[in-house]
Structure 1
Amino acid sequence: MPWSVAIRAAGRAGLRLERELTDPRRALRGALAVAVVLFAGLAVAGPAAATAGALGAFIAGTATFQRSFRPRPSLAVAAGAGLGISTFLGYLAVPVPGLFPVLLAVWSFGAGLAWALGPTAGVVATNTVTVLLVIVRLPVGVPAALGHGLLCALGGGAQALAITLWPIRPWGAQRDALADAYASLADHARRLRHDPYAAVDPEPLMTARHAAELTPWQERHRPPELHGLRGIAERIRPTLAAVADPRLGAAAQGPERDRVRELLAGTAELLDALARAIRTGEPLCYPRSAPAALVAPAGPVLHGAALRASRRLVTLLGQATGALERAGEDTIDTPVAGPAGALLRPGVARMLPIALGTVRRQLTADSPVLHHAVRLSAVVTAAYLLSRATGLQHGYWAALTAAMVIRPDFAQTYSRGVARVVGTLAGVLLATGLVELLDPGQWASAALAVGCIGCAYLTLRTGYAPTTACVSAYVVLLLNMVPGDVLRTAYERILMTLLGGALALLTYALFPTWETARLPERTAEWIAAAGRYAGAVLAAHGDPAGRDPREVRTALLDSRERRSAFLTARQRAEAEPVRHTAWSPGLSREQLDLVREAVGALSRAGLLMEAHLPGPDAPPVPGAAEFGAVLTDATAAAGAAVLTGRPVDFRDARAAHAAWEARLAADPAPAGEADVARSGAWLLLRALEELERATRTASAAE
């Protein structure tokens, strides 16, 4: 899309408000922790020390509101430690001519690399840059650097203590993630009643898996109802598709289809009940109609693969309800030992070498994280030097604004840029008006600042603009405790905000990281991953006794991750002001939609076959493993072809399938096992044909 349209759309997104507030109790808890640090520091050590501690408490509190499944106290402590270190180093660098800009550039570069660890780490690391800029402007000598660094860290400790003493809905993030997974399965079951080919969104299951990664402390204290239910949900997902699909299950019309619709309706009701019980921690309440719908009627209505899938579905639902009911017999605080092979999340101390390894892998020329780190470091340092050249006392607001605006992708950068400027202007003007009107002293300014930070925590889900307004007012009121010219200060901050925001947006335009350029790579990775998943399922049918269950599971998880990366890249690319064909030879946006549908069908065929995986004692399907290996190689080659702009060619896969069919005709396997693999293979071939057609259309369009 044109630049004007893209910028206008991003600006509207930044100013869009949601009718949603943060939990008021959590906002109050965070504000109280800030108040304790602020008022205690003001009473004991004066306004400069109080400001340092209060800014540390604010940023640490913000970290606990980020989407993360780590214990909230550990997030607050880690954020406080980072703030303390940045503050200490900043005070040491300020007296040395020319050293502070170097420190600022290096620290900003490190904050940009922190995005490799996830959005939470990236946001907190960026906030340390802003605190570094604010704190070292306060009139305090270098000998007090250690004390101010410790005060910033103490702010994080205060937030951790507040969370420990006032727990609000413990394990709420994990409960919500698992409940969302069951709710998404319930919605999928309902859609399958009307559309037997309906696709399921794997994102809730992926999120639930991330939530199930536990630190050793969490593993010892996990509530019983969060133990084992996620694995059952993973097995329910392919079973639902197998029950509904008329190609491997019940007939498309007639008594079998009526029975399947009845079964899916009861399943959806029971899954919704499970989701509610998991989310609230209350006992499971059975819907009246659900059990009756799950009981098999007198006489065989379903046959073959459909009958096996329906029995497996009812068994899995019984396991889920049984696990939840058994958990309800214990108290919610009963420690539960994790099973062998539990998903363990390293603690904060053990995360350091892992984090360093993750960051080290991003130090390549084509890494978007490295591009962001260089861009962030350059724009923050340039904004700081330009502001120093103006001679304004509060010129550091230019660098502060630039640091908060720059994000790894175009849409976030420009939407946050507009929201940041608007919010900062509103916050500075509001706080300045209050100061001029009320002329508050130190204690009154502190009280008003606490009120502003409470509003900031409360509006974190409402939009970036109102949150920025509250935070800007908070900083103004904190700094008002140090004497100065209020009107001149407001004028300088507004001017520097405009400078920093404009510099950040201009820098991104001149040194962009276009997600559009990565679409071919993301597409190729997803095609190859979907092929590996289908090949692993076929291999499991070909050798039931010797198969490793982890191979199918690993391939499925990789396929999900690649699909998620593709969809994220596609969504970001839609908002970018660049032409798709300029970066992706041979595939336009329209053809990408066709490719997405074809790869989705490929993944669905693998999912249907996974639902009918044979047991270890089942007879093998001759030739299935060999065909799976050919399919894996063919899809890997197809991914490479898409990446280079060439049409894909699956002639080898078709020839291998024909040879397999001939082998089965000569050496037939038991019908129950071979039918599923053969039907799934035909579905795979149809998906490959669709993928071929999409790339041929793209090639012809050139």
Structure 2
Amino acid sequence: MSWSRALKEAVRSGLTIERTRLEPLVAVRGACGVAIVIGLTLWLGSPALAVSSAFGAMSSGLATFQQSWRPRPLLALAAAGGLAVSTFLGYLAGANTAVFAAGLAVWTLLTGMAWAVGPVSGLVATQMVAVMLVTVTLPTSVAGAVQHTALIAFGGVVQATLIVLFPVRPWGVQRDALADALAGVADYARRLRDDPTAPFDPQLLMEARGAAALTPRQARNRPWQLRGLRGPVERIRAVLASLADPVVGAPHVGPQRDRVRELLAATGSVLDAVAHAVRRGEPVRLPPAAMAALEVPAGGPVLDGAPRRAALRLMALVADVVEATEGPVEAVTSEGRKDTTRHLPRPGVPGLVPVVLRAVRREARWSSPVLRHSVRLSAVAVSGYLLVTALPWEHGYWAPMTSVMVMRPDFGQTYARGVARFAGTLAGVALGGAVVALADPGAVVSAVLAVLCVGLLYLLLRTGYAVASACISGYVIFLLAIAGEGAGQTVAERLALTLLGGALALAAYAVFPAWETPLLRNRLADWVTANGRYAVAVFEAHARPADRRPREVRDALLDARAARAAWEQSLARAQQEPVGHPDLTRDTAEAAGTAVGAMGRVTMLLEAHLPDPDAPGTPEAGAFAAALNETLPAAADAVRASRPLARHPVRTALERWQEGAGERPGVAVRCADLLAEALDELAAALPHRAR
């Protein structure tokens, strides 16, 4: 993609306003938290204290709107604690420009590494730097700095208390994640009726798994609708694909295909009904016609062979889902204690420390986009701060704050947010500045207007960054008006500083980029490796059913999903960048991704037909697994190095297996054939350098 087209796409993305589901009660609760903090500090303290505490309350509330499975009160407290520490350190160094610049460089470098932990941590860390830049402009002593710091922490405590006292749709994000996964599998079942090889994005299942990770206390208190559903739903997806596939399932036409379509439609209807009940916390209303279709017909089974086994398995899994929605059932051990182990364990706050350290250590290498982002962020924040100190304008922090708020580890988000930030600031500053200049509101009216802006921010946060920037700009202007400093700077100066900060951020990425495009082959090779381990685990389970380790197959599947998500994220980012890969065009990358995705899909089809532990083994499956184990690591290295893919061991093992299977090959040998074809498609899709 050329620079002109990349910038055009960034402008379009940054100015896009999306229609999304609003949560007015949650927005009102967050705005009330800000109002309580501002009102108390105005009544008992001073306008300067009100401004400082209001930033803490706003940022703590903003953290609770991020996509996280952690309890919302914990997010508010964690954000407030980080903001308090950041503010106090800034106050200590704020008296000396050189000392503050050095401290800002170190602190920004450390907070930039928070993106290694996750996007929520990265966003909270960004606010920490922004608040440091804003609040230290309010003059105070060391004792006053302690007071400001305590007030910022108090804002987080207020937000957390309101969440506990006035819960709005508790467990809502977990309900939505599980309901979205159910609805996604239901939609997949309906699409399979017309397209037997329709693709399925496992992202919804990955999010549902993340939402299911709980501490023991959360597991004891979770609603019964969130218990026992995710496992059957994940297994249903594989059985649906196996049933619909014309190679390993029912024939493409005929009575068996009609029966398969009926089963697929009925499964979709049942899963939709369960999803609706989970999302709303209501009893499940099952469609009678769909439940009747998920039974063996009165005239006898229509399907036979592998399709019949898949259909019976599907009926059993749907019955498990329905049974799990009948009401709460508590597992009790022989000693009379409740069994709380049937959930994904989530580490508590102390247990997060080694997790965070491992994540940061993993990204502490020069090739890491996170480390390069941290260095870039630190350089821009310090240079912007030093530059504006030489300008005659008041509140020059607006420029480095803009840079910090728009910068992200990838090119697309940084440039899109830069455009959105300027457009939103233009609107927010123009409206807020006009109100302050024309009406000259007092402290109380300015506080009311600030609360109104933050309420709109919480309400419209997910509609687009331009809208959020407009609300934040108005909020900051009215906060400064509380302290009598709102008119100290013209609208033109604020816009100029915003443009300066955005230009610094965009220039920094152009000068010191962290392009995703050169990493595409590595991401694809990682996906090949993960899919290879998944395929080897499944074929070995067919070879030696008695030695089958379900946990090994499950872990391999999760690794394959994570590798696929990393590839898709990398590809999406690369397609927004104004650089090209030397030998991997957009078409070849998509073709290669389709081939590797087919490898995972074929393995999933075979996983749906895993034999029972007492079933006889298939030695040919073991030989094929050994050939895969020999071939795929070398194939991944060939993908990285742009070399031809050698596939001879896989083809040789497949031919021997097919010779022994005769004219009626089983599901396993048919899946092995499809897997070999996927490897051939991958080899054909990827160009390689001449040797």
Q: TM-score band (shorter)?
A: over 0.9
Q: Is 1:610–2:601 an aligned residue pair?
A: no
Aligned partners of 1:660, 1:295: CA distance in 2, in Å? Answer: 36
The Cα of 1:561 is off from its aligned counterpart by 0.7
- Which amino acid in the other structure matches residue 553 of structure 1? R
Which one of the candidate residues 623, 627, 632 is aligned to 1:630?
627
CA drift at 1:129: 0.5
Aligned to 2:201: 201
Among candidates 651, 654, 664, match of residue 657 of structure 1 = 654
Look up the equivalent residue of 1:692 and give its one-letter code: A
Which residue does 1:38 correspond to in 2? 38
Provide the rounded CA distance (Å) in 2 between the counterparts of 1:235 and 1:503.
50
Alignment map for 1:201-220 (pairs within 5 Å): 201-220=201-220
Number of the residue aligned with 2:334: none
- Deviation of the 1:300 alpha carbon: 3.0
* Distance in 2 between residues matched to 1:359 and 1:627, nearest whole Å: 39
State how far apart, in whole Å, the 1-side matches of 2:573 and 2:541 are: 37
Q: Cα 1:33–1:404, aligned 2, differ >3 Å: closer, same or farther? A: same
Shift of residue 95, structure 1, vs aligned partner = 2.2
Aligned to 2:670: 679
Q: In the aligned structure 2, how far is the partner of 1:228 from the partner of 1:329?
A: 11
- Matched residue SS, 1:486: coil
- Quote the residue 1:69 is aligned against: 69
Query: Which of 658, 672, 693 is matched with 2:684 structurally?
Result: 693
After TM superposition, give the deviation of residue 487 of structure 1 in Å. 5.6
| C-alpha displacement of 1:468 | 0.6
**In the alignment, what sits opposite 1:232?**
232
Deviates more, 1:493-502 or 1:64-73: 493-502
Give 2:630's aligned amino acid: D
Partner of 1:395: 396
**TM-score when normalising by structure 1:** 0.95
The one-letter code of the counterpart of 2:603 is G
8 Å Cα contact 1:216-1:346 kept in structure 2:
no
Q: Is the 8 A contact 1:192 1:198 kept in 2?
A: yes
> Which amino acid counterpart does residue 595 of structure 2 have in structure 1?
A
Letter of the 2:42 counterpart: L
Structure 1 stretch 89-98 or stretch 406-415: which is displaced more? 89-98
Is 1:112 matched up with 2:103? no
> 1:328 deviation in Å?
9.1
Q: 1:624 to 1:21 in 2, by over 3 A?
A: closer
Mapped partners of 1:375, 1:108: distance in 2: 10
Partner of 1:92: 92
1:451/1:377 Cα in 2 relative to 1: closer, same or farther (>3 Å)?
same
What is the rounded CA distance, in whole Å, between the counterparts of 1:465 and 1:652 in structure 2? 55
Residue aligning to 2:305:
304
- Using the TM superposition, give the Cα deviation of residue 142 of structure 1 relative to its aligned residue in structure 2, in angstroms: 2.1
What displacement does 1:647 show?
A: 1.8
Q: CA–CA distance in 1 between the matches of 2:96 and 2:584?
A: 55
Report how far residue 342 of structure 1 moved.
2.9
Pairing 1:408-557 to 2, within 5 Å after superposition: 408-484=409-485, 486=487, 488-557=489-558
Q: 1:34 to 1:338 in 2, by over 3 A?
A: farther
C-alpha distance in 2 between matches for 1:568 and 1:34: 36
Deviates more, 1:145-154 or 1:60-69: 145-154
Letter in 2 for 1:619: P
Give the conservation status (yes or no) of the 8 Å contact 2:446–2:481: yes
Structure 1 contact 105–377 (Cα < 8 Å) conserved: yes
Question: Could you tell me the TM-score, scaled by structure 2's length?
Answer: 0.96
Q: 1:647 pairs with 644, 648, 667, which one?
A: 644
Measure the CA separation in 2 of the matches of 1:339 and 1:549.
21
Q: Using a 3 Å threshold, how does the CA distance of structure 1 residues 329 and 274 change in structure 2: closer, same or farther?
A: farther
Q: What are the superposed Cα offsets for residues 643-664 of structure 1, whole Å, 9 maximum, x if unpaired?
A: 1111212012112223444566
1:49 aligned partner: 49
CA–CA separation in structure 1 for the residues paired with 2:378 and 2:682: 42
Q: Residues 111 and 256 (structure 1 numbering): CA distance in 2 closer, same or farther, change over 3 Å?
A: same
1:613-645 C-alpha deviation (Å, 9 max, x unpaired): 011111111132232132133122111111111
Superposed CA offset, 1:667-695 (max 9, x none): x9xx9xx8122121111111112122223
Which residues of 2 match residues 261-276 of structure 1 at below 5 A? Answer: 261-276=261-276
SS in 2 for 1:261: helix
What amino acid maps onto 2:80 in structure 1?
G
The code of the aligned residue for 1:65 comes to F
Partner in structure 1 of residue 586 of structure 2: 589
CA contact 1:48–1:140 (8 Å) conserved in 2: no
Q: Give the 5 Å matches for 1:115-130.
A: 115-130=115-130
One-letter code of the match for 1:443?
Answer: V
On the 8 A contact 1:33/1:162 being kept in 2, the answer is yes
Moved more, 424-433 or 228-237: 424-433
CA distances 1:233-289 after superposition (whole Å, capped 9, x unpaired): 111011101111121121221111111111111111111111111111111101132
Distance in 2 (alpha carbons) for counterparts of 1:53 and 1:700: 60
Match of 2:242 in 1: 242
Q: Identity across aligned pairs (percent)?
A: 51
Question: How far has the Cα of 1:518 moved from its partner?
Answer: 1.2
Structure 1 residue 339 displacement after superposition: 4.8
CA deviations 1:484-528 (Å, max 9, x no partner) are: 471635443222111111111111111111111111111111111
Q: Is the 8 A contact 1:394 1:492 kept in 2?
A: no
Separation in structure 1 between the aligned mates of residue 461 and residue 53 of structure 2, nearest angstrom: 22
Q: Judging changes above 3 Å, is the alpha-carbon distance between structure 1 residues 700 and 525 closer, same or farther for their aligned structure 2 residues?
A: closer
| Match in the other structure for 2:167 | 167
Unaligned runs of 5+ in 1: 331-335
Instruction: Find the aligned partners of 1:491 and 1:594 in 2 and give their Cα distance.
Output: 50
Distance in 2 (alpha carbons) for counterparts of 1:484 and 1:210: 45
Show the counterpart of 1:24: 24
| In 1: Cα distance, 2:99 partner to 2:339 partner | 50
Distance 1:353 1:597 in 2: 37
Question: How much has 1:225 moved relative to structure 2?
Answer: 1.4
Matches within 5 A, 1:318-333: 318-327=319-328
Alignment check: 8 A CA contact 1:428 1:476 kept: yes
- Cα distance change, pair 227–337 in 1 and its aligned pair in 2 (3 A): farther
- 1:242·1:608 contact (CA, 8 Å) conserved in 2? yes
Q: Which residue of 1 aligns with 2:373?
A: 372
Contact 1:47/1:482, CA 8 A, preserved across alignment: yes
Partners of 1:432 and 1:487 within 8 A in 2: no
Q: Alpha carbons of 1:289 and 1:214: their partners in 2 closer, same or farther (altered >3 Å)?
A: same
Quick one: distance in 1 between partners of 2:428 and 2:486? 17
Q: Which amino acid aligns with 1:368?
A: P
CA distance 1:357–1:588, change in 2 (3 Å)? same
Structure 2 Cα separation of the partners of residues 559 and 350 of structure 1: 26
| Contact 2:239–2:605, Cα closer than 8 Å, also in 1 | yes
C-alpha displacement of 1:5: 1.3
SS of the residue corresponding to residue 327 of structure 1 reads coil
- Give the letter aligned to residue 667 of structure 2: V
In 1, Cα distance between the equivalents of 2:577 and 2:392?
A: 37
Amino acid at match of 2:388: S
Question: Displacement of 1:202 after TM fit?
Answer: 0.7
* 1:229 to 1:660, Cα distance in 2 relative to 1, 3 A: same
Of 64-73 and 344-353, the range deviating more from structure 2: 344-353
The alignment partner of 1:633 has SS state of helix
Look up the match of 1:333: none
CA distance in 1, matches of 2:45, 2:548: 67
- The answer to whether the 8 A contact 1:70-1:215 is kept is no
Q: Is contact 2:394-2:489 (8 Å) kept?
A: no
The 1:450/1:523 distance shift into structure 2, 3 A limit, reads: same
Q: CA deviation at 1:58?
A: 0.3
Task: Report if the CA contact (8 A) 2:330-2:339 is conserved.
Answer: no
